[in-house]
């Protein structure tokens, strides 16, 4: 595999050989856990994005559509965000 760590290549490599890629990734690129401050910043960004998205769409459009935001491996559902209209 080339040094280029594009998402598609990583995904393909993971499917081909899960254990080898995970071992290599952990050895060369240790995964750092987000600090509480960073988590809070990401949470605020998610809330703002959800609020603006709900304002942009009309109520009946949003009600039929599930809006998922993937953030640090977490699924953000509209029920997590309350927006006063």
Is the residue at 8 inside a domain?
yes
What is the domain range of residue 21?
A: 1-31
**pLDDT surpasses 70 at 49:** yes
Quick one: how many helices (H) and strands (E) in the chain? 4, 2
Distance CA 61, CA 51 (A): 14
Q: What is the mean pLDDT of the chain?
A: 63
Better pLDDT: 54 or 19: 54
Is the residue at 22 inside a domain?
yes
Q: Same domain for 40 and 70? A: yes
E strand segments, the chain: 69-71, 74-76
Distance CA 26, CA 13 (A): 15
Is the residue at 85 inside a domain?
no
Structure tokens at 43: 């949470």
Q: Same domain for 50 and 71? A: yes
**pLDDT surpasses 80 at 62:** no
């Amino acid at each position: 595999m080339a040094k280029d760590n594009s998402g598609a290549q990583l995904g393909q490599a993971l499917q081909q050989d899960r254990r080898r890629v995970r071992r290599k990734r952990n050895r060369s690129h240790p995964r750092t856990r987000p600090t509480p401050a960073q988590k809070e910043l990401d949470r605020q960004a998610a809330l703002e994005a959800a609020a603006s998205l709900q304002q942009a769409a009309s109520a009946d459009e949003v009600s039929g559509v599930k809006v998922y935001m993937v953030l640090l491996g977490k699924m953000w559902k509209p029920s997590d965000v309350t927006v006063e209209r």
